[in-house]
């Protein structure tokens, strides 16, 4: 019997709870997140005692594709739907409306799942999040996967660094380098803005742009390389490539999805996800 393929695009009906809108390009993100989650849990379930899923910007669980009546499950509920399950889910969300809708949906559709909810800014709640993440012990080997999906550069590198300290953990991070960074370079060069300082953990980044050593057109490349360097400094393998998501009809880049693992096999896994999705487009 052939293996049942997991379809990360999961249509749902309006359940009366809060449903935010997203662009049509979000489907590409859901495919990658869901594809990796399924390969991760399938490939690792017999090698580790416990698999943990962490979502730092979990949203409402459902989202409507803007301009249509289509409603999808989003990241956290997709991860809850894979063929093989994670042993624990840690779902974090700041927006009160999204948080209450997410909690209600998880309790309705996945009542048996082991889920811990954390309401608030993940940057500020980092100690609470770390406390919720199971730690490796003499009797239990634990592997973790963290999905990070901010709407802008509102992600402090210190947050990622602290989470990485808990032990074996892979990251799939949305880098909002076009939808935020590229549009706001001159605002961020203003010394009153600390967003980029905190995003890359470097308060001196402005200097080469102010002096003309680096042109404004290289801002995206600079941030991308700096992020890779930061991850490498805390033990992660540099991504073979980052997956770029664009607005399909006008081919305008929006953001990158970057996968970081401490083991080279992680890059192999992510490449398999991309191949899996490209070869199975008809499924979606």
Residue 130 has pLDDT above 70, yes or no: yes
**pLDDT confidence bin for 3, thresholds 50/70/90:** low
Structure-token pair, residue 193: 């803005």
How far apart are alpha carbons 108 and 67 in whole angstroms? Answer: 27
Q: Is residue 284 situated within a structural domain? A: no
Alpha helices for 153-194 (secondary structure H): 157-164, 185-189
pLDDT of residue 2: 42
The pLDDT value recorded for residue 284 is 26
Give the pLDDT band (50/70/90) at residue 281: very low
Looking at the 3D structure of the chain, how many domains does it have? 1
* Statement: the pTM of the whole predicted model exceeds 0.85: yes
pLDDT recorded at residue 231: 96
Residue 16 domain-assigned (yes or no) = no
Q: Tell me how far the alpha carbon of residue 117 is from its chain's centroid.
A: 17
State the Cα–Cα distance between residues 26 and 117, nearest whole angstrom.
23
What confidence category does residue 152 fall into, taking pLDDT thresholds of 50, 70 and 90? confident
- Percentage of residues in the chain with pLDDT exceeding 90? 61
Tell me the residue range of the domain where 265 lies.
21-176+237-278
The pLDDT value recorded for residue 280 is 46
Residue 193 inside a domain? The answer is no
Mean pLDDT, residues 47-76 taken together: 96
Is residue 116 scored above 70 in pLDDT? yes
- Per-residue pLDDT, 128: 97
User: Tell me: the pLDDT tens digits for 219-255?
Assistant: 888 999 999 999 999 999 988 778 888 776 666 777 8
Coil, helix or strand for 166?
A: coil
| 9: CB partners within 8 A, 6+ apart | 27, 30, 31, 34, 72, 284
Of the candidates 39, 33, 43, the residue with the CA atom closest to the CA atom of residue 10? 33
Q: What is the mean pLDDT of residues 210-219?
A: 88
How high is the mean pLDDT of the chain? 89
Token readout for 63 is 């989202």
The answer to whether 188 and 200 are in contact (CB under 8 A) is no
Answer yes or no: is 40 within a domain. yes
Q: Whole-angstrom Cα distance, residue 242 to residue 223?
A: 13
Q: Is-contact 75 108, C-beta < 8 A? A: no
Q: Is the pLDDT of residue 155 over 50?
A: yes
Residue 212 lies in a domain: no
Instruction: Tell me if 257 is assigned to some domain.
Output: yes
User: DSSP character for 81?
Assistant: T
Q: Is the pLDDT higher at 91 or at 7? A: 91
CATH code of the domain covering residue 82 = 3.40.50.150
Q: Strand 252-260: give its sheet, edge to edge.
A: 115-119, 88-93, 50-55, 142-148, 169-175, 252-260, 243-247
């Amino acid at each position: 019997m052939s293996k049942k393929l997991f379809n990360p695009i999961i249509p749902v009906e309006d359940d009366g709870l809060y449903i935010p809108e997203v662009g049509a390009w979000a489907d590409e993100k859901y495919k990658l997140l869901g594809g990796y989650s399924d390969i991760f849990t399938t490939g690792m379930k017999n090698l580790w005692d416990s698999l943990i899923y962490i979502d730092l910007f979990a949203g409402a669980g459902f989202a409507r594709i803007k301009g249509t009546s289509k409603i999808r499950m989003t990241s956290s509920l997709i991860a809850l739907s894979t063929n093989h399950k994670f042993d624990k889910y840690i779902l974090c969300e700041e927006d009160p409306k999204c948080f209450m809708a997410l909690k209600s949906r998880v309790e309705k559709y996945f009542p048996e799942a082991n889920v811990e909810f954390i309401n608030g800014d993940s940057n500020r709640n980092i100690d609470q999040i770390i406390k919720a993440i199971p730690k490796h012990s003499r009797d239990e080997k634990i592997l973790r996967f963290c999905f990070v999906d901010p709407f802008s550069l509102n992600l402090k590198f210190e947050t990622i660094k602290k989470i990485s300290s808990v032990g074996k953990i892979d990251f799939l991070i949305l880098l909002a380098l076009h939808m935020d960074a590229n549009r706001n370079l001159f605002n961020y060069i203003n010394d009153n803005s600390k967003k980029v300082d905190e995003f890359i953990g470097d308060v001196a980044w402005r200097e080469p742009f102010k002096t003309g050593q680096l042109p404004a057109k290289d801002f995206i490349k600079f941030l991308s390389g700096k992020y890779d360097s930061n991850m490498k400094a805390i033990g992660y393998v540099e991504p073979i490539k980052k997956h770029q998501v664009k607005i399909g009809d006008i081919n305008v880049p929006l953001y990158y999805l970057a996968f970081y693992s401490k083991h080279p096999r992680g890059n192999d896994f992510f490449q398999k996800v991309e191949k899996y999705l490209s070869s199975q487009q008809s499924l979606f």
